Amino acid sequence: MKKSWVFIVVFVLTLLSSKSMFSFAIQYGDINSDGSVNSLDFGLYRLYLLGSYEIKNTTVADLNGDGSVDSIDFGALRKYLLGFISSFPVEEIVVPTPTPPVQQSENMILIPHNSWTCGMPAGIPQPEKGVLVFEANMKLDTIYNLGKTQYGQRKVFVVQGGTITGPKFTGNVMSGGLDFQLDISNGSMEIEQLLVFKTNDGNYVYFRSAGTAANQNDVRIVPDIEAPNNGSYNWLNSGKYAARRVVDTAAKTMKISVYDISSVAVNPDSTNSITVTKPEGVQSQSWDYRKAYSERKGNVFITELVNLGGSQSVGATKNNGNRNIIPITGGNVTGSINARIIPAGADYQNLSHPMSIDARYLWETDDGEIIIVRNGGAFGSLVPTFEVRADSKYAYLNNKLYLSSDPAMGAGGVTITFYESEK
């Protein structure tokens, strides 16, 4: 009799541990694990996207089954609560998409995709093979998960501030810096950063970088550094650098370690290099701002009131440049879109002739969408472009063409009008 009971217990335990015979239901959308999906979960999801709440069980938050927890899932939760859909897309998936294999690249030369050369199209060596120049340890303010845009899965990290340490370079990282991370479906990544440093003796340094990865365990960036020509930091203008970028989203920190690789040999071949690839048909992002040709201003699209901080002037720098940076500290947007301007980013001006601007910043619409804005060009021919979630009601911004007025000075900032472009 005892043997029979032992057999039954063992049999039951075997069944319970068998994934092929039993599965436990996942309640998708139940963010706070209280057994129901309601407006509380919606509010917590929004806080997560704004970087002020941690979702412990991300499985219940991935509502479309793409392996990412972002604003696309947030939109699905909104539709579910409004009654537009009765189930989440992930519940309708029959065959899951296999995870792309991780390419091991840590000890290899990393060759960027030809659409995002990072300034080193021949290949980026392992940064640590060079000589450490400085490290920037930063605290992140907000992490925005835009979801899938026209280029891939987009996240934006807003820098709260930080410190710089190195044998010849110490100082602080100014608040409002932007890091644009693009995750591509095959596991590769592209990075763009715009940061401003202030040395301990009061000089400003502009740090713009492009980065890439064949897998997320090996992210390399190539800094393009602009320092004052006159002074003790002009050596930064002529160096050859590669850097390691490490982000801890849970701790909301970012670390950049910059190495001088001028003495590192880069001779890629089939045995010592790996090339970053993209799936067929993926749209490529641009390093430069759009230029308008044979276009004229049509209907008024929106009007901006942009609040600005004090200038952070680098002054005369390399390539006959004269860099001046004006932080964006807030503002609002009215017209076809109503939004607030998030206090982050800046107008990265080049005061050399012809004077040009390259403003990089973010909108948050009244209904919670995050839109990346870039407005650049020479004065008299400014062109704004946008990046927003591909299934958003604002997705038309990704493809339509627009023109911009020059900034007009106002109280505490500038006013700018965007127009629909006409041929």
- Spatial distance between the Cα atoms of 170 and 197, rounded to a whole number of angstroms: 9
* Site of tokens 């550094």: 225
Q: What's the token pair of residue 168?
A: 């010849």
What are the helix and strand counts (H, E) for the chain? 3, 22
* Site of tokens 């659409």: 115
Going by pLDDT thresholds of 50, 70 and 90, the confidence category of residue 279 is very high
- Spatial distance between the Cα atoms of 117 and 66, rounded to a whole number of angstroms: 27
pLDDT digits (tens, 9 = 90+) for 381-393: 999 999 999 999 9
How is 96-116 classified by DSSP, letter by letter?
Answer: PPPPPPPPP-TTSEEEPPTT-
- Spatial distance between the Cα atoms of 38 and 17, rounded to a whole number of angstroms: 32
- Spatial distance between the Cα atoms of 389 and 391, rounded to a whole number of angstroms: 6
pLDDT digits (tens, 9 = 90+) for 145-192: 999 999 999 999 999 999 999 999 999 999 999 999 999 999 999 999
Residues 147, 152, 155: CA angle, nearest 5 degrees: 50
Cβ-based neighbour number of residue 375 at 10 Å: 25
Assess whether pLDDT exceeds 60 at residue 201.
Answer: yes
Cβ-based neighbour number of residue 385 at 10 Å: 17
- Spatial distance between the Cα atoms of 68 and 347, rounded to a whole number of angstroms: 31
| Mean pLDDT (whole number) for 198-206 | 97
pTM: predicted TM-score of the whole model, two decimal places: 0.79
Assess whether pLDDT exceeds 90 at residue 74.
Answer: no
- Spatial distance between the Cα atoms of 47 and 142, rounded to a whole number of angstroms: 10
One-letter amino acid identity for 121? P
The continuous run of DSSP H or E covering 365 comes out as: strand 356-365
| Mean pLDDT (whole number) for 292-299 | 94
Helix or strand or coil: residue 11?
helix
- Check: CB of residue 357 under 8 Å from CB of residue 345: no
Q: Give how far the C-alpha of residue 143 lies from the chain's centroid of Cα atoms, to the nearest Å.
A: 9
One-letter amino acid identity for 369? E
pLDDT digits (tens, 9 = 90+) for 306-342: 999 999 999 999 999 999 999 999 999 999 999 999 9
- Residue 9's contacts (CB-CB under 8 Å, 6 or more residues apart) are none
Domains in the chain, please, with CATH? 27-98 (1.10.1330.10), 109-275 (2.40.160.20), 296-422 (2.40.160.20)
Instruction: Share the mean pLDDT of the chain.
Output: 89
One-letter amino acid identity for 24? F
